[in-house]
Amino acid sequence: MQVIKNIKQMSSLSDKWRQEGKKIAFVPTMGYFHNGHLSLMRKGRLLGDVLVVSIFINPIQFGPKEDFKEYPRNFERDSALAQKEKVDVVFVPDEREMYPPGYQTFVEVTKLTQHLCGLSRPGHFKGVATVVAKLFNIVKPHFALFGLKDYQQYLVIKKMVEDLNFDVQIIGCPTVRESDGLAMSSRNEYLLPEQRGAALSLYKSLKMAQDLFETGEHNAKKIKAEIINFIKTFPYTQIDYVSICDPETLEEIDEIKDKALMALAVRVGKARLIDNLILEVRK
């Protein structure tokens, strides 16, 4: 496994692979790997002849009061895990090379970002779309894998690829959970032992919404009200949003017909956690 820090070196290697007719699979990450990341790598390994994983904690997707500085990092452990997954290249670009002095170009997906996390984290998706566009131009993948835990991010990237004619296939991968249902996240690291139970309020809420929906409650406002009351029974929690929305446009819906996305963001102590589920009429 190669570790590449230099943008030109990564780009030239991808050019060489493409000339040889190799299919490149790519998993962009911010590191501190858990099984969610590894599941993306496994899928990428199956799809591509070569597999690139990037680790880059992208400063421009963090707000001024967010956790950029504290974001967990452990490159030694990450590279050992990536090697186990038979990753060909770990690409770890330098921040100054990604955003040199005078940098001034950004990518903005305008509508999908006006919902959910886009409202509570202004500028976040502009940072995400920009770094992913840059990484696509450097790594030149045929396939790029994203987790559906970050459902809005997946939609934003798909839209960017469609609108800007990137020649890459975006693949959404299911959320990997702990045995009790908590969605794996690098930010779970922030949870104190006494907050771990409260972190489960997100998954329990999704299950509760699914039960309500399956037993005939299709009124989104009523489901949301129940969920909000439920989360408030957990200590350490502060709700950012609870949304039932169209899974393609992310616009809020009143009455669930065939399908809806239930998405929520809750602060549990220092950790801002997100999770989601598709509510669907089973045929």
Q: Please give the residue ranges that form the binding site for ligand AMP (CB under 6 A).
A: 29-30, 36-37, 39-40, 146-147, 149-150, 173, 175-176, 183-186
Residue whose C-alpha is closest to residue 249's, from 265, 264, 260:
260
Which C-beta is closer to ligand AMP: that of 183 or that of 266?
183
Taking the complex as a whole, the smallest distance from the CB of residue 46 to ligand AMP amounts, in Å, to 16
d(CA 168, CA 212): 39
Q: Which is nearer to ligand AMP, 152 or 243 (CB)?
A: 152
Q: Over the range 89-112, which residues count as b (16 or more CB within 10 Å of their CB) and which as e? A: bbbbbeeeebbeeeeeeebebeeb
User: Which residue in the block uniquely carries the two structure tokens 């990536």?
Assistant: 82
Cβ neighbour number for residue 196 with a 10 Å cutoff: 16
Q: How far is the CB of 221 from ligand AMP (least distance, A)?
A: 29
User: Judging by beta carbons within 10 Å of its beta carbon (0-12, 13-18, 19+), is residue 125 exposed, middle or buried?
Assistant: buried
**Minimum separation from the CB atom of position 173 to ligand AMP (A):** 6
> In the bound complex, what is the minimum distance in angstroms from residue 45's beta carbon to ligand AMP?
15
Task: Give the Cα separation of 249 and 255 in Å (integer).
Answer: 15
Give the active site residues: 37
Q: 14 vs 185, which CB is nearer to ligand AMP?
A: 185
